[in-house]
Amino acid sequence: MRRRHFTAGLATLPFVPTFALAQGDDWPNRNVRIVCPFTPGGSQDNIARRLAAKLGDEFGQTFVVENRTGAGGSIAADNVAKSPPDGYSVLLGNIGSHALVPHLYRRPAYNAVTDLETVAWIGTQPNLLCCNPSFPHDTLPKLIAAAKKEPGKYSFGSSGLGTSPTLTMELFKQKTGVDITFISYRGAAAAAADVLAGHLPMVISNIDSLMSQVSAGKLKPMASSGAKRSTVLPDTPTFAEAVSPDLVVTSWSIWAVPTGTPAKIKDRLRVATEKALKSPDVMESMKAGGFEPGSMTVPEIDAYIQTEIKRWGEVIRAAGIKAE
């Protein structure tokens, strides 16, 4: 058993955890968990693993990606929010965990604004609407005209109601006034399979999850949801071009840690992340998946999150989506 020695002077000091005394000087001195709300093999998971490898090289410790999926990212976020604020639990935060969960659950287990602190911006990825190549209404203008002529006839598939791709279509419906039916799937792969089989006309998901079928000519891209055309699909128009300049939706990613994590740890993680994002192999990997790296200060990220919380609250209420 380790002995503890106290002097009279030290005994008068308030108790402070060891990690706080160090203020992050020796961080990290053991493995760091990166908690990812997505399944292994997806774009977000791939980026997390790329960055984990770079951070491991930078700090000489292992950064382990731990996948905790479900409930729109809230399971992963809650796990990190309730972890010790010592820098050894890092969340791959996203639009779901931070901007959608507050509106989709009546009593979320955590508060993304007060229980988690932002560390670094990672980047954004647009959503992509695709159709079966035989679908006659294969552009947004054609789809809008057909859907207005026959309300409720056409449908699209996506991975769950409270997800960025699905809400992209809800915003599209609100902006255009069309009635298109949403069909929920357990994942984009299942929805895409039904489109390929001719059972469903359209699917929407993060761009990278549909790129292999698009490249093979099995799916036809109709529109992407970024502010500008994706570099991997430069001939595919955006929703903003076809519908409205403000119909821009991206799945964004950040690092977040439990509130109270020492500033020095957050600073070291942020600087190392920014360095990793500039490395050629990470940049190439992100670009190949349609992921756009970016740069924001922590105050800018926090302000953006507040804007997203407000925006998606309005969309969700207008869509009549009820909190669970």
Residue 166 in tokens = 């699905």
Q: What is the pLDDT of residue 70?
A: 86
Does residue 8 carry a pLDDT above 80? no
Q: What's phi and psi for 195, nearest 5 deg?
A: -65, -45
164 neighbors 76 (Cβ within 8 angstroms)? no
126-242: CATH class:
alpha beta
pLDDT per residue as tens digits for the range 198-232 = 999 999 999 988 999 999 999 999 999 999 999 99
Annotate the chain with three-state secondary structure: CCCCCCCHHHHCCCCCCHHHHHCCCCCCCCCEEEEECCCCCCHHHHHHHHHHHHHHHHHCCCEEEEECCCHHHHHHHHHHHCCCCCCCEEEEEEHHHHHHHHHHCCCCCCCCCCCEEEEEEEEEEEEEEEECCCCCCCCHHHHHHHHHHCCCCCEEEECCCCCHHHHHHHHHHHHHCCCCEEEECCCHHHHHHHHHCCCCCEEEEEHHHHHHHHHCCCCEEEEECCCCCCCCCCCCCEHHHHCCCCCCCEEEEEEEEECCCCHHHHHHHHHHHHHHHCCHHHHHHHHHCCCEECCCCHHHHHHHHHHHHHHHHHHHHHCCCCCC
Place of tokens 């020095």: 264
Identify the pLDDT of residue 260. 98
- Stretch(es) of the chain classified as CATH 3.40.190.10: 126-242
Tell me the C-alpha to C-alpha distance, in Å, between residue 174 and each of 149, 244, 319. Answer: 16, 11, 8
For the structural domain made of 11-125+250-318, what CATH number should be given?
A: 3.40.190.150
Predicted pLDDT at 322: 75
Range(s) within the chain of domains with CATH label 3.40.190.150: 11-125+250-318
**pLDDT score of 38:** 87
The two beta strands, 155-158 and 250-258, are unpaired
Q: Which tens digits make up the pLDDT trace of 52-80?
A: 999 999 999 999 999 998 888 999 999 99
For the segment 86-98, the average pLDDT, to the nearest whole number, is: 97
pLDDT tens digits for 109-162?
999 999 999 999 999 999 999 999 999 999 999 999 999 999 999 999 998 777
